[in-house]
């Protein structure tokens, strides 16, 4: 194995790494408020065959199968002296389901549930029979957004098997071939180091080339600090975070096709166009005198990069439950309207973002001298995560405004992971009508998520209700969509 796993009679452990620790620390900040920053919620709107009068028992069993397939859903963390560990216990399927699967018959929608849930020790699953929606929820230190989209497919495969074979079928028959599975996949840093051409150094030492590359990335972000942001509720500066809210809008398939075609014609990525619209809407609001640029980190999924140069052992590892991404810095200047004669257009902003979203992950960075081989982003992961962790933990400089930068996270085409129909047997299917993903927010930033599903573009926003009104966020979403259509030259 790549990692040193501590295997006891009923549990398996490994040390938490930097990226996991970063998200765990953020989550723990909300403990006094019984909240947890960036907890991920994934919702599936399901339609069952007419022969299934009550799907609850099937859903409960599928949740047990999913844990059997991905034991890290039950992972917990602990501290031993100065080292934090992630641990999974031996599966007791009934105890797992009793503790983590809940039916809420009175909720009319997942938006209401989203604002009412509190932190849990492990991942959890909720069934809302009235709207026929299933919710899977997990701390962000355990799984990322793309991983959650991939997990939705695994859940549906398990559910289809339960519908075909019965909810009393054994776990082995429902999900065969898992007796040699890895209960805990290695961390991103460990996988990256195993593929690196740079030798591992003693603890506390850094390769000077990699250190320079990591410093270069952080400097790109700092160039735009303090970033422009969306205005929060008046007099909310001293407010404690409360419950989170969410809103989502979508465009029909015809309009989505037009947007994709317009972006191809302009030679920009759709994600860059969406992000550009968010930045330009943000720039129309009054800003702090020091805020003149947009600066943020955009998450980039690294699973494909990990597999391109990986050993056969790494390629066969399940990289669903875990953190396998990196946040790349973006800095876009000259975004404030009327501030200069060189205020950037929609296309200008989109092309700046394209330089980041279109980065070659395998040939990512090179020192400023000739005849030096370029370095992949995976090589920079460990020193870069170490610096960004310190950056987010630093105090805001005196005189700077609070951070309230709108962020964007993209899942791409969810259809790449999730099917519309799954074989339930007897010539019947269980249908996925809709998909949604959002995160609990405890800070003053709005987290946007974008994805396409069934050829329709979706844009969601998550925010803390102590700092933003639902009506304001809906208005911002509408303005972003208008800006996207105008920027792409598409009329409503």
For 286-339, what is each residue's pLDDT tens digit? 999 999 999 999 999 999 999 886 666 666 788 999 999 999 999 999 999 875
Predicted pLDDT at 205: 87
pLDDT of 414 higher than 80: yes
Q: Look up residue 319 and give its two tokens.
A: 């990289």
Mean pLDDT, all residues of the chain: 92
- Segment among 156-170, 196-210, 350-364 with least mean pLDDT: 196-210
* pLDDT given for residue 1 in this prediction: 43
Measured between its terminal Cα atoms, the distance across the chain in Å is 55
| Stated pTM of the model | 0.95
- Which domains occur in the chain, in start order? 6-185 (3.30.559.10), 189-405+469-487 (3.30.559.30)
Cβ-Cβ contacts under 8 Å for 259 (sequence gap 6 or more): 251, 270, 273, 457, 484, 485, 488, 490
Q: Which two tokens stand for residue 44?
A: 């599936």
User: What are residue 490's phi and psi, to 5 degrees?
Assistant: -115, 130
Quick one: tokens of 153? 């497919």
Residue that has been written with the tokens 């740079």 in this structure: 198
Return the beta strands (E) in 94-192 as ranges.
101-103, 124-128, 133-138
Burial of 61 (0-12, 13-18, 19+ CB in 10 A): buried
Query: 188-208 pLDDT, tens per residue?
Result: 999 998 888 888 888 778 999
Listed in sequence order, the residues at least 6 apart from 415 whose beta carbon sits closer than 8 Å to its beta carbon are 452, 453, 454, 455
C-alpha distance from residue 331 to each of 122, 220, 224, 295, 305 (Å): 36, 7, 5, 4, 24
Residues 6+ apart with CB under 8 A from 396: 402, 403
What is the structure's pLDDT at 341? Answer: 63
* pLDDT at 368 exceeding the cut of 70: no
What was the pLDDT predicted at 297? 96
70 within 8 A of 154, measured Cβ to Cβ: yes
- The residue with tokens 């069993």 is 61
Phi-psi region of 210 (alpha: psi -120 to 50; beta: other; left: phi over 0): alpha
Residues above pLDDT 90, as percent of the chain: 77
For the cut 80, the answer to whether the pLDDT of residue 452 exceeds it is yes
DSSP, res 227: B
């Amino acid at each position: 194995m790549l990692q040193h796993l501590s295997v006891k009679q009923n549990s398996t452990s490994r040390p938490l790494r930097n990226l996991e620790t970063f998200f765990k620390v953020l989550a723990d900040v909300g403990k006094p408020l019984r909240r947890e920053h960036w907890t991920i919620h994934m919702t599936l709107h399901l339609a069952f065959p007419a022969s299934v009068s009550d799907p609850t028992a099937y859903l409960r069993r599928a949740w047990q199968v999913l844990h059997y397939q991905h034991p890290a859903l039950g992972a917990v963390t602990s501290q031993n002296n100065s080292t934090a560990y992630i641990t999974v216990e031996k599966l007791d399927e009934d105890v797992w389901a009793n503790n983590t699967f809940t039916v809420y018959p009175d909720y009319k929608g997942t938006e209401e549930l989203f604002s009412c849930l509190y932190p849990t020790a492990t991942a959890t699953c909720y069934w809302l029979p009235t709207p026929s929606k299933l919710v899977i929820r997990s701390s962000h230190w355990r799984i990322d957004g793309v991983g959650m989209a991939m997990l939705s497919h695994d859940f549906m495969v398990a559910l289809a098997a339960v519908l075909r074979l019965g909810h009393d079928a054994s776990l082995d028959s429902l999900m065969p071939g898992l007796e040699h599975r890895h209960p805990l996949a290695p961390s991103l840093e460990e996988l990256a180091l195993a593929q690196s051409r740079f030798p591992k150094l003693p603890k506390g030492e850094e390769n000077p080339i990699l250190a320079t590359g990591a410093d270069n990335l952080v400097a790109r972000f700092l160039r735009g600090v303090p970033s422009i942001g969306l205005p929060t509720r008046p007099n909310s500066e001293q407010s404690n975070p409360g419950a989170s809210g969410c809103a989502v809008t979508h465009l029909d398939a015809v309009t989505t096709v037009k947007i994709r075609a317009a972006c191809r014609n302009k030679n920009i990525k759709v994600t860059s166009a969406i992000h550009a619209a968010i930045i330009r809407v943000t720039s129309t609001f009054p800003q702090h005198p020091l805020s003149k640029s947009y600066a943020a980190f955009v998450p980039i999924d690294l699973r494909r990069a990990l597999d391109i140069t990986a050993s056969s052992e790494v390629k066969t590892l399940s990289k669903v439950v875990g953190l396998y991404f990196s946040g790349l810095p973006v800095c876009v200047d000259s975004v404030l309207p009327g501030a200069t004669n060189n205020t950037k257009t929609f296309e200008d902003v989109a092309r700046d973002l394209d330089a980041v979203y279109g980065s070659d992950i395998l040939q990512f960075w090179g020192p400023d001298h000739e005849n030096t081989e370029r370095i992949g982003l995976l090589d920079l992961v460990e020193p870069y995560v170490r610096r960004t962790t310190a950056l987010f933990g630093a105090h805001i400089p005196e005189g700077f405004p609070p951070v309230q930068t709108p962020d964007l996270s993209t899942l791409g085409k969810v259809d790449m992971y999730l099917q519309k129909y799954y074989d339930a047997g007897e010539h019947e299917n269980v249908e996925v009508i809709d998909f949604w993903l959002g995160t609990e927010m405890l800070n003053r930033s709005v987290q946007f998520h974008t994805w396409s599903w069934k050829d329709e573009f979706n844009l969601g926003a998550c925010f803390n209700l102590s700092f933003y009104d639902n009506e304001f966020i809906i208005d911002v979403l509408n303005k972003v969509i208008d800006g996207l259509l105008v920027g792409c030259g598409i009329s409503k």
